[in-house]
Structure 1
């Protein structure tokens, strides 16, 4: 089986010098400083395969992803999802957490997808939302304490890897609003309790400050977006941010946009200065974060966009080393796969990506992978 040499190695925590990674049956069985190699990648940095903590494979990243989904049969959607999965892994993203699909399609794809066809998919199924709430059209409507408990149980029985709940409204669903809460604290606590009773992590979609505070109080494992949107702007709350920093919760920053020349949706554009200020405030407070790109929701969010999210955060003042950890070892912890993903060390899955140059000096090299391995098999 292959031994892979690289000039530098980021092991998921630190950047090291030249190393040889030995792979057997899809697993890393040793990492050595020297010795023979079957494949010398030259002047590259070898990293753990990147982990995107928030994608939507059912959305095609087109101008109207919701409309196209509504018009498509499950089989048509699955075919597109397979194509998006291939595009994702080619970008060096070898694990994704799919936080919202229709009819458990991402779970179906995860069960069928071959190792060489795409990333490992950790799926939530349809997100739990109120009747007529954000993304209701995905089929996850549930109301009241008993309703959300039943919804969580259904997902556990279907074999999901994570539960997703829409704590606030969102920008993709007319009639819902990002700055307003959808559930009361009793429903949120019930969902968290039920998910944890089934051994599942639970992620909260939360834009508004009150929704973020409620998700934190209820005990959600990750909080997605955390943008502090108000009706017309975005205004972060230092008290809530301090509580986040003091907690065990991980904030999933939905960063990353591929330049398209088209402006963002008006509701996002007018709030963008405040959102950027909130992202910087989270970093200044030391809040634990990962990157969930929200891939699929529009033209600026194609599948595989995660490396652009890394560049965005570095441009906003985040330390490159911390950003690299956020898309590898810390992301693996958030996704509950830290025992086999996100590190280059003995016993871990041989999901690897090589980039030319040093990502600590120029994080944008993540956008141009020169080699990608999935369970030890080279895909590019």
Structure 2
């Protein structure tokens, strides 16, 4: 039986905003953080104490770009297009388990086929903490795309004002948390062009205006520079990938960066790959066509950070073997390798990500009143972000999910 009242101590901590090198004691009761004290504070009588010497305590991570219906192997999206409903449920279970094992306690799903993930989210909300520990799901449902456009198999195709308004209305009625729009073609959909827009500006404005009227944010998949500019013109809240591809290669001007800052758009550069990852042939073809690779993307993300762009971390998790569910720690580490300071990189997957999900009052911070979603890692991520990939223990809504046997709750 899991304890309902417990004190958790670690030698170092990151509260979602700043490092706390002197360590922290976190008090958890009934799935919520009831208080924090610096250092190794005593626990009230009757509370269970868990010590993690040598570890760093952080908020549970937030993956801002995942595909829970994708199975983390090459060809995942192709299988997702044809999988039967029962297999999709099995894949979603596996994806959530992989995420949780890596310390990810919230996943924003940005590509769902036939509303499967939305229904899973709804079931989780109805059971609350009565069910087994699992990441909180933030769901977009099927992305809005053009007929024969990127990921049209997910059942989100629409064209023209009437269809687009109907698409947004359906998402609002089904209770999505965010509207996802495929602004450009995609690497994994043959016949689409990553360097071209899929919608007209007027069409994209219809989606954004209708979503905002319904109280929903909009994030736009945009590999093409023209699609990034179009998303800004339409007033979108977020941009996924933001690769800025043109016929001449990658083009990111100072003016574009300044505009991203001025409009306060959240940019998710979708870094994050396993160390031995070999890009699939379709990804290699795009990289060769436009002359860019991981190093350049890291430099561009760091440039945006220095300018004040609001970066968040999501790994496009699940789409192939190099981007499995649970790879988010690598996305954070790759930001830092590109020049983003460690504490700022960590914030992109904790407090800043929670803010962008509309969960600023519940997630992403180690703070009184917040959900007890906590990650303990071996080592010091402020000097070595590889430590983020060494989880020692994970707490989701106050429930232990993955713990070093030496520290396991009794």
Q: TM-score range by the shorter chain?
A: over 0.9
From 266, 274, 278, the counterpart of 2:300: 278
Distance 1:58 1:348, change over 3 A: same
Q: Structure 1: how far apart are the matches of 2:70 and 2:316?
A: 10
TM value normalised by structure 2 = 0.89
2:332 is the counterpart of 1:321:
no
Q: Take 1:196 and 1:320, find their aligned partners in 2: how far apart are those partners?
A: 34
Q: Which residue of 2 aligns with 1:95?
A: 106
RMSD: 1.5
**Secondary structure in 2 matching 1:255:** coil
The alpha carbon displacement at 1:276 in A equals 4.4
Deviation at 1:112, TM superposition (A): 2.9
Q: d(CA) in 2 for partners of 1:368 and 1:204?
A: 32
Q: Does 1:218 align with 2:237?
A: no
Superposition deviation, residue 170 in structure 1: 0.8
Structure 2 stretches lacking a partner, 5+ long: 403-410
- Mapped to 2, the partners of 1:333 and 1:354 lie a distance apart of 22
Render the CA deviation track for 1:146-185: whole Å, top value 9, x for unaligned: 2111101101101111110011111111111111001111
User: What is the deviation of 1:67?
Assistant: 2.5
1:291-330 equivalences under 5 Å are 291-330=313-352
Contact 2:299-2:338 within 8 A present in 1 as well: no
1:220-258 Cα shifts (integer Å, max 9, x gaps):
111110011124632222211111122211101101000
- Offset from partner CA, 1:275-302 (integer Å, 9 cap, x none): 4453343233221100110001111000
Residues 276 and 9 (structure 1), Cα distance of their counterparts in 2 relative to 1, 3 Å cut = closer
Aligned partner of 1:46 in structure 2 is: 57
1:191 is matched with which residue: 207, 211, 214?
Answer: 207
Aligned equivalent of 1:148, options 149, 152, 164: 164
SS in structure 1 opposite 2:63? strand
Q: Deviations over 1:25-78 (max 9, x none)?
A: 100011123223611112211100000100001111212112222332011111
- State how far apart, in whole Å, the 2-side matches of 1:121 and 1:266 are: 31
Distance 1:319 1:75, change over 3 A: same
Distance 2:279 2:90 in 1: 29
Q: Secondary structure at the match of 1:227?
A: strand
**For 1:131, which of 147, 150, 156 is the aligned residue?**
147
**300-309 or 189-198: which moved more?**
189-198
Among 26, 44, 50, the alignment partner of 1:21 is 26
Contact 1:26–1:375 (Cα < 8 Å) also in 2: yes
Residue by residue over 1:92-131, the C-alpha shift from the partner in whole angstroms, topping out at 9 and shown as x without a partner, is 0000100011011111122234753421010100000011
1 CA distance for matches of 2:277 and 2:165? 44
* 2:42 aligned to which of 35, 60, 66: 35
TM-score, normalization by structure 1: 0.96
1:234 to 227, 245, 250: 250
Task: Return the alpha-carbon distance in structure 2 between the equivalents of residues 278 and 177 of structure 1.
Answer: 22
Structure-2 residue corresponding to 1:347: 369
Once the 2 structures are TM-superposed, how far is the Cα of residue 267 of structure 1 from its aligned partner? 2.9
Unaligned stretches of 5+ in structure 1? none
Tell me what 1:4 maps to.
Answer: 8
> In structure 2, how many angstroms separate the alpha carbons of the residues matched to 1:232 and 1:69?
33
Deviation per residue, 1:79-98 (Å, 9 max, x gap): 11111101111100000100
Alignment of 1:49-128 (within 5 A): 49-113=60-124, 116-128=132-144
